[in-house]
Structure 1
Amino acid sequence: MLVRLAQEKGLGNLMQRILREARGLTGAEGGTFYRFIDDGDNSRLAFSVVHNTVLGIEAMINEGQDQGWPPIQLYKDGEPNHRNVASHVGLTRQAVNIPDVYDAEMFDFTGTRHFDAAHDYRSQSMLTLPLLNHEDEIIGVMQLINARDADGITRPFSPEDQATVQAMAKFAAITLDNQLLVQSHKDLLDAFIQALARIIDVRSAHTSAHCQRIPVLTELIAQAACEDTDGVFADFNLNDDEWYELHVAAWLHDCGKLATSENVLNKGRKLQKLHDGFESVRARFASAVAVAQSDDEKAALRDDMEFVEQVNRGGEFMSDEYKARIERIATGTWPDAYGEPRPLLTEDEVYNLNITRGTINNEERAEINRHIDITIDILEGLPFPPKLRRVPEYAGGHHERMDGKGYPRGLTRDQLSIPARMMGVADIFEALTAKERPYKPPMPLSQAFTILRRMRDDNHIDGDVFELFLRSGKWRKYAQDHLLPEQDDIEDVEPFITGDA
C-alpha cells in the first residue's frame, strides 16, 4: 500500500488513492477527501475526491468547479466553524469517530440529512481525521462513511480502524505534502514565465498578446497530433510531464525580446523612431507647396505627399516602380528657415520608405532576429530539471525552416523535434492573423491559409503539421476565442491544402 501511494503521480490521482486505500482498510462504502486551502479568514476545505460505492460515485472535483460540492468554510463571521465536523477536525487537528451521525448532537448534519433524502441513502458511521504535514500543519481532511462488516452490515468504525487509518494517513500526508510542494513550485514557475510573457507583450502594443497566444495555438496543434489515430502522427503522444515541458517552452519562446529595443518592437511605420517621422516630412511638403509656382506643381507635391504617407504605413509590397518614385520624390526640395533648399526626403528616410515589406529595415530585422539567439542563451543557461531539458530546443526552433535556411542555427526538418515544428507553424499563424498590427488590417483566414500553403510548398514550414492543423479543425477553436468574426471566412479547408483555393 505504501509503495502504491508513493508511486502515484498527480495530486488528483494521489488523493483518489489515499481515499481508496483508507476505504479498503476499514470496509467503508464511501468517503470524501478535502484539500485545505489556506486563505486567512476565508480558509476552507475544498471537496477534492468523493466516493460512494452504493450510489456509484467516484469523482474528482476541481476547486472553482464545485459541481454541487461547495467548499466548507473554516470560519464563519470571523469565528471558528466547529458545527461542521470536517471543519472542526481541520481546526482542532483531532480525529472524530461517530457511530451514528443521526444521533450526534455536537455537529450540524443538516447537509448530510439533505443528501441522504435526495439520494435515498442512509449515512450512519463516520470517521473524520486530519492529514498533517511534517510541520504539524493541516493539509487535508479525510472522511469515511459507513464501515461494513464481513456480512455487509453497517457498523461503527472501531478503535483499530481509526488507529490503522491514522497510521496510513501519516505516510499519506508526507506523500501528499511532497506533491503539494512540487505543485507549488510549478505554480510559481508558471506565474513567473507568464509574467515574463506579459511584460514582453506590453512592451509592444503591435504584438500584444503574442506570447500569450502561442501556448494556446501550440497546445491545440499538439492535441490534434495526440488525437490522430491513423495518420502521420498516430505514434505521437505526450505524457503529463511532456505536456508541461511543451507548455513552458511555448510561454518562453520569445523571452529574448526583453533585450530588443522598444523603438524597434513598436515601429509601426517605416519612418517611426521615437515618434512617426512622417510629421516632419509633411511639414517639408507644406513648405514646398507654399513656394510652388503653379497649381499643377502644388497638386503634384500633394500627390507625392499622399504617396509617401501611404508607403510609410508599410501595408503593401514595394515594387521597383514604387521605389523609383520614392527616389524621384527625394530629389525635390523645400526651403528651410534661411531659404536654403533642402531635400524633401533624407537618405535615411528613402532607405526606410523603400523597405520591401512591412516597416522594419534590414538592421532592425537583424536586431529582432537576434532575440532568438538571446532566448536560446537564456534558456540553455537555466538549470532545468531532466523533465524540462527540451525546453530550449522547443522554444529555440520556431524560426528554423524545413530546408535549413532559417535561423539561428540553420536546422533542417530532420534536426527539429515535432513540438518545435508545431511551434513554428503556431508562431507564423498568430503573426499573420493578429488583429493588432498597425500596418495591416486583420487578415482573413483564407489569406493566412494561402500564405501557409505557399510556405509549406517552399519547404519553410512542416507540411504534415500544416495539414494536421487545418484538417483537425483546431484553428476554428482558436478563431472563435482570439480572432474577429469577420476573419473567419472558411467553409472548407481542403482547397487550401491541395492548392485549389
Structure 2
Amino acid sequence: MTEERRNRGDRRGKPRRRTDRKVTAGSKLDLILDVTRRLMSITDLDALLRDMATATTQLLDADRATIFIVDRDRGEIWSKVALGTGAGEIRQPIGVGIAGAVAASGETINIPDAYDDPRFNPEPDRRSGYRTRSLLTFPMTGQHGRVIGVFQAVNKNGGKFTADDEETLSSLGASAAVAVENAQLVAEQRRLWTTLIETLAVTIDARDQQTAGHSQRVTRYAEVIGRAMGLEGIELEKLRAAALIHDYGKIAVPDQFLLKPGKLDEAEFEYMKEHAEKTGEFLAHLVFPQDMRDVPVIAAQHHERMDGKGYPRGLPAEQILLGARIVAAADVFDALTAPRYYKPAYTLERTLDLMDTMAGDHLDPAVVAAVRRHVHDLEWTLDSMKHTWPKPDDEGMEAAPESGLSERDQGSARS
C-alpha cells in the first residue's frame, strides 16, 4: 500500500479501515479459489509449479517464491521454478538448509531475519547481490501425511510474514498437493508410455544390424526438422513418437526379406512395402493418449509421396500429415548419411543434393527447404549419432558396389 493510500485511510477513520480489511480478506479468498481452479486444470508439473510460485507471491505479497518437490528416491528436494532468481534447476539434500529441514520435519519455519538463522545459506545472496530478509517455508502434505513438497516465500513486502500468511499457505497447500500428485501421476503414465514406444523401436533395430540405430537417428533428425518448421509442445512430442516407431511394421517382415543383402525381386519388394501398413495396424492396438492419437497415422504414412505414388495407400499430398512428411525426409536423410551394406556414408553435400532432386515428387519441398536452412543443426546431430552406425565388421556390412538408395530406403520412389 502506498503512503498516499495509507494517509487517505487514516483520514476516513477506523470504521472504514475495518471495511478495507474485510475487502482484502475477501479478495484473498477469491484469489485462493481462483488459483485452486487453475491448479486443478494443469497437468504439466513444470507449468503447475510456475503457477503455484506466482500465486504464492501474490497471496503473501512476497518478493520471490520457490516451490520444491520432494524426490525420495534420491533423498533430495528439487525445483525448476525460483521466481526472480534466474536460476535453473535447484537440488539439495532433504534435511539440509531451511527448505530441506521443512521437507524432513513437516514443520513450518517462519524467520523474520534469515541471517539470524544458522540453517540459512547466504552464498546465493553473495553471488547475486540479493538480500534475503524474511522467509516463510511451509510443507506441502500429500496422501498418507507425507511431505511431497515445500513452499518458500522470500521477503514479505513491508515487514515479516505473519500467522495469517501461514494460514493462507495452509489453504493453498491442500489443493496444491492434490494438483501436484495428479501431475506426477500423469507424468509417470507418460514416462511409461514413452518407455514402451522406445522399447518397440529397439526391438526393430535389434533385428537388423545393417540398420542398427536407425530409429534413434531418424527421431533426432525429425526433431531438428520439426523445430525448424515451427513445431513445439505436443506436436513435437507426437513427431518424436511417430519417428521412433515408424518402422515397427517390419516386425512382420520375414528375415529372408528383411536381412537379404542383395537386391529384392519384385515379389520380395512388395512384401517389404507392407511394413508401412503393418505399422499402422499394429499400433492401432495400443491405446494412445488423447493428444497423441495421430502418432500411428504419422508413422504409417512415412512412405507416402507428394505425387500420390507412395505406399501403402497412395495418398495425395493434401492428405499426408505434416509429421509424416517430416519423418519421410528424416528417414531419407539417415539412409543417405549412414553407411549401409550397399553404400558408404554419403557426405552431407551429396545428401542434400540428392534430397533436392526428390523434392516435389517424393518429398515435401517445404520440408527439404527446412533441412537446408538448418543444415548446421542436422550436421551437429549427425556427428553426435555416428556411434550408432553399423560397424564395418557387422554381419551383412561387407563392401558392395555403391548403388544409391536401395528399395528399402527409397522404395516409394519406384513407381
TM-score range relative to shorter protein: 0.7 to 0.9
Answering whether residue 272 of structure 2 is matched by residue 368 of structure 1, we say: yes
Query: Post-superposition shift, 1:210?
Result: 0.7
Within the candidate set 238, 253, 256, 1:260 is matched to 253
Answering whether residue 42 of structure 2 is matched by residue 12 of structure 1, we say: no
Query: Post-superposition shift, 1:263?
Result: 4.1
User: Superposition pairs for residues 313-352 of structure 1, below 5 Å?
Assistant: none
Indicate conservation of the 8 Å contact 2:43/2:186, yes or no: no
Partner of residue 381, structure 1: 285
Task: Kindly provide the amino acid, as one letter, of the partner of residue 376 in structure 1.
Answer: G
Answering whether residue 311 of structure 2 is matched by residue 407 of structure 1, we say: yes
User: Superposition pairs for residues 393-472 of structure 1, below 5 Å?
Assistant: 393-435=297-339, 437-456=340-359, 459-472=361-374
**Aligned in 2, Cα 1:29/1:218: closer, same or farther, shift over 3 Å?**
same
Partner of residue 391, structure 2: none
**Aligned in 2, Cα 1:464/1:135: closer, same or farther, shift over 3 Å?**
same
Partner of residue 215, structure 2: 211
User: Superposition pairs for residues 188-267 of structure 1, below 5 Å?
Assistant: 188-226=192-230, 238-267=231-260
Structure label with greater radius of gyration: 1
Partner of residue 178, structure 1: 182
Indicate conservation of the 8 Å contact 1:51/1:58, yes or no: yes
**Aligned in 2, Cα 1:114/1:372: closer, same or farther, shift over 3 Å?**
same
**Aligned in 2, Cα 1:130/1:259: closer, same or farther, shift over 3 Å?**
farther
Identity among equivalent positions (%) equals 31
Higher RCO, 1 vs 2 (CA within 8 Å, ≥6 residues apart): 2
Within the candidate set 69, 79, 84, 2:97 is matched to 84
Give the Cα separation in 1 of the matches to 2:362 and 2:125: 63
Answering whether residue 93 of structure 2 is matched by residue 94 of structure 1, we say: no
Task: Kindly provide the amino acid, as one letter, of the partner of residue 191 in structure 1.
Answer: T
Give the Cα separation in 2 of the matches to 1:267 and 1:20: 60
Indicate conservation of the 8 Å contact 2:42/2:179, yes or no: no
Partner of residue 117, structure 1: 126
Q: TM-score, length-normalised on structure 1? A: 0.66
Answering whether residue 172 of structure 2 is matched by residue 168 of structure 1, we say: yes
User: Superposition pairs for residues 267-346 of structure 1, below 5 Å?
Assistant: 267-268=260-261, 270=262
Query: Post-superposition shift, 1:191?
Result: 1.5
Note the residue ranges of structure 2 that are not aligned, 5 or more in a row.
1-34, 388-415
Give the Cα separation in 2 of the matches to 1:444 and 1:48: 41
**Aligned in 2, Cα 1:452/1:8: closer, same or farther, shift over 3 Å?**
same
Partner of residue 310, structure 1: none
Kindly provide the CA deviation profile for residues 295-349 of structure 1, in whole angstroms up to 9, marking residues without a partner as x.
xxxxxxxxxxxxxxxxxxxxxxxxxxxxxxxxxxxxxxxxxxxxxxxxxxxxxxx
Query: Post-superposition shift, 1:413?
Result: 0.8
Query: Post-superposition shift, 1:8?
Result: 4.2
Task: Kindly provide the amino acid, as one letter, of the partner of residue 147 in structure 2.
Answer: I
Kindly provide the CA deviation profile for residues 248-288 of structure 1, in whole angstroms up to 9, marking residues without a partner as x.
211121112222234433333x3xxxxxxxxxxxxxxxxxx
Query: Post-superposition shift, 1:466?
Result: 1.6
Give the Cα separation in 2 of the matches to 1:398 and 1:180: 33
Q: TM-score, length-normalised on structure 2? A: 0.78
User: Superposition pairs for residues 468-483 of structure 1, below 5 Å?
Assistant: 468-473=370-375, 474-482=377-385
Q: When you count helix as a share of all residues, which structure comes out higher?
A: 2
Partner of residue 229, structure 1: none
Note the residue ranges of structure 1 that are not aligned, 5 or more in a row.
63-68, 75-80, 227-237, 271-358, 485-501
CA-based RMSD of the aligned residues comes to 2.2
Give the Cα separation in 1 of the matches to 2:381 and 2:207: 24
**Aligned in 2, Cα 1:120/1:402: closer, same or farther, shift over 3 Å?**
closer
- Matched position secondary structure for 2:81: strand
- Matched position secondary structure for 2:193: helix
Query: Post-superposition shift, 1:7?
Result: 4.2
Q: How many residues are matched? A: 352
Segment of structure 1 superposing worse, 446-455 or 424-433? 446-455
Give the Cα separation in 1 of the matches to 2:249 and 2:146: 41
Kindly provide the CA deviation profile for residues 329-371 of structure 1, in whole angstroms up to 9, marking residues without a partner as x.
xxxxxxxxxxxxxxxxxxxxxxxxxxxxxx3333432332222
